[in-house]
Structure 1
């Protein structure tokens, strides 16, 4: 089994990406973005998750994370985060006036029905491709990548203008949506 994309160092800082199945642009509604934010906050409080940087893009989530507790597995935290956010977003799809409701639920049901371990709908792709940021060059590269992702996608002109990102914290403009432990 490959060791390339695993949380091998319990004290490490990792870049991870969580992607919606079929690269569906799910995070175009504030309700879903706020579920991601609230779920991450819960894991910061209850599971010792440290968030160094984040960016919620329409079809995926980028994070730079570590843990306050080396006994708390980042792999376990990410697994549980995806499971809980999957459940909450599926509930929200049914509760709000979602124009794509039937289509989204059908896509998530199709993604889940092929797997024995999934009992209903699967929103997230498997894995999160953790990359340990074990040197300053790699750390700065991933930090820049995360914050410039909305600029490269032409969602905003300046990284600090994107609401669902930690770019403003790094620019010293404001405290944002999540508690961020700055890296530099």
Structure 2
């Protein structure tokens, strides 16, 4: 699902620019470098995010305990992602959190038919704990595989979103060109124009 950059979603709206469920999950806490924006303040918000991410077909009730576990998983993934980007040592505690959640049963895949009559894979019905396990497994596969080197942070100075750079050249710089990329380019243009006047 396409989304906008953090600058446009500062009101707490969900953003889906990471390219992987685990990276989109990290984005549920926005503006990490400034005044953090909690996008899953309650269980209902987490339930909506799970549906919008495509992990489950319908909203599931999320208890406070599960919300706490979700946030713990999100921060563990965030720490591992940022260590991977910076090429620094991974924190053992964060690895334990991801592995513990990933060890639980995850969501079963579900085969559905789209409007054109084609078979499509979609999220299966399950529990919030199973959805979190699916996110943790995605993080483990991503961070432990060859694509880990293609995880980047948006270069907009006010954006903390991370994404998987799937471009052929590997030169993607922004979470979303239509938001952060354009803002930086406009600011650069204005600065150059001010210097030339």
Higher Rg:
2
More helix, by proportion: 2
The higher relative CO (CA closer than 8 Å, separation ≥ 6) is in 1
TM-score under structure 1 length normalisation: 0.27
TM-score under structure 2 length normalisation: 0.26
